[in-house]
Structure 1
Amino acid sequence: MRVTELRELLEKYSKDDLSKMMIELYKAIPKKVRDEKEIDGMLQDFQQYKEAEKIKKEKEKHVDLNDLEREITQFIQNAYKQNYIAPNRYVSKKERPKWRFKVKSYIKQLQQVPVEGNEGKRATDLLEKLYEMLCYGCGYYIFNTDNPFRSIGMEQVELFDIILKRKFSMGINKETISSALKQIIN
């Protein structure tokens, strides 16, 4: 059931019925889940719970670029070594098919870094390295697909457009234009 359907359903019940349903739902939730989701805290002070959730989401938005850069560099090295298609001791069998979700996450996190400043340039460079690796994957098997862009649910030109916008927002000069042209040609 969707949330909108639930809202419509709840409108037809009285306050007493809603209270009884809430108690039954609370009983049905396992203690482990209640602790993980902080259900008790939510019931005790809903406003404080909402504020804590908001703060938690803001912290998740902040990207630690140093850790992310290390992780992406390691990922790219493993991809070029074909560790995501052949059995090896660096990437487990369980982790190999999850490469597409990692790439999606990396792209999303890198886009959250503001373009301005040194961190913005580093994020753009990392996006460009990911793009080059995915392009390489279109011609050589480094993943279990012949079109990595389709696997991550993104068109090649879409990612290239994101990179160009980031580069050109830092300023248009000979270096950025030649870099863009080199990417198009290669």
Structure 2
Amino acid sequence: MKVQELRELLKAADREFLEKAFVESYKHFTKSQKEEADQIIKDILSGISPNKAKKKTEVSFENLKQEILVFIENARAQNYMFPNRVIPKNQRPKWRFLVKNFLKELEKISQENENYGESVNLLVELYRLISDACNYVFFSTDDAFRSIGWKQEEFFQLVAKRVLGIGYTRENISRLILYASTGGLSAESLHVDQQIVLLSELKTTDAKYMALEEAKKLIDENVGKLGGLKEYATRKYALEDTINNLCDMVLMIHIVLAELEEGISYYFKANRQREREIILYKALSLAEWLGEDDIWIQIYEYGIKKNIKPRDSLVREYQERKDV
């Protein structure tokens, strides 16, 4: 019904029935809707007008946004690590509590909220910061993810869900593939952990094919960057590592789509690893991570047909799997 119709209905309602109707309606709210409604209800009952209550919420998000942006800027400037005049010495170890609180507040912002898009971008930047902190000295810790009490794959899953909540666009899927396949790693994580999480969030076949196309585009882009680099250039190693990680993503998508032949052929062709036996070993590991026993055997036999001599441990494992 329209707002005016609701007002007319409430005017004639008995207080007891009015309270019951309100409570029963409230029960049907989602958790995020309740969290948004709670403050509005409290404000109105305290005499604050709805418009002022809304403005208060908006200001609150703006404050949160500025706090996060300033925090990220200081973290990347290493102000939480080394002596400086910006962050007091006694406040530097508290960075982990700031991040925990930021994540808690960002999680509260529902998809219906007008600030949802900005909140997702802030979440992404926090993830990238904590990921980079595993490679660079931003904080006094040997594992930034562990310090904030999050497993990397769980943090990434939150990022993936929220980014895809904006829309299953090529741009969103492409950047998630890149975040999953590159960047710093927790001591307890591998890139494949994030890639498997992303695969689980691609709910439809169309989304998986879109991801497949975008992953191959990223591979082509990185291959293009190799041109002109010297044989032992550091950047070359980094690019080849990225390409290999993206190849992992491509193969896993092909496996999930039941297109092993096409996937394994592309994998061996695009992978920058020099030793073909190592490529085979990694492909078998991906099948293992996906829990695909039959695929494992098929990949092994593909390698044999290509005259690849597997290491002894793989030969034994193949025999054991065939005997089951």
Q: If the length of structure 2 is used for normalisation, what is the TM-score?
A: 0.38
How far apart are 1:110 and its partner, in Å? 0.5
Which runs of structure 2 are paired with 1:67-146 in the superposition (5 Å)? Answer: 67-116=63-112, 118-146=114-142
After superposition, the CA RMSD in angstroms is: 2.2
Structure 1 residue aligned with 2:226: none
Structure 2: how far apart are the matches of 1:160 and 1:93? 31
The equivalent residue for 2:167 is 171
Taking only the aligned residue pairs, the percentage that are identical comes to: 37
Which of 134, 143, 162 is matched with 1:147 structurally?
Answer: 143
Q: 2 CA distance for matches of 1:176 and 1:123? A: 15
1:90-139 alpha-carbon deviations (Å, 9 max, x no partner): 00011101000000000000110112354101001000000000000001
Q: Where do 4+ consecutive residues of structure 1 move more than 3 Å? A: none
Structure 1 equivalent of residue 153 of structure 2: 157
Of 37, 42, 52 in structure 2, the residue corresponding to residue 55 of structure 1 is 42
In structure 2, give the amino acid aligned to 1:55: K
Secondary structure at 1:183's aligned position in 2?
helix
Provide the rounded CA distance (Å) in 2 between the counterparts of 1:146 and 1:137.
9
Distance (Å, rounded) in 1 between the aligned partners of 2:64 and 2:167? 25
Superimposed CA distance per residue, residues 143-175 of structure 1 (whole angstroms, 9 cap, x where no aligned partner): 001211000110111111001111112221111
CA deviation map 1:65-84 (0-9, x unaligned): 21111111110011011111
Deviation at 1:55, TM superposition (A): 3.3
Return the structure number with greater relative CO, CA threshold 8 A, min gap 6. 1
1:4 alignment counterpart: none
Unaligned stretches of 5+ in structure 2? Answer: 1-40, 44-52, 183-324
Question: Matched residue pairs, number?
Answer: 131
**Separation in 2 of the partners of 1:95 and 1:161?**
30
Query: 1:90 and 1:96 mapped to 2: Cα distance?
Result: 10
Equivalent residues of 1:78, 1:84 under 8 A apart = yes
| Distance in 1 of aligned mates of 2:172 and 2:112 | 15
Which stretch has the larger CA shift, 126-135 or 160-169? 160-169
- Give me the whole-angstrom Cα distance separating, in 1, the residues matched to 2:66 and 2:166: 24
Structure 2 Cα separation of the partners of residues 176 and 116 of structure 1: 19
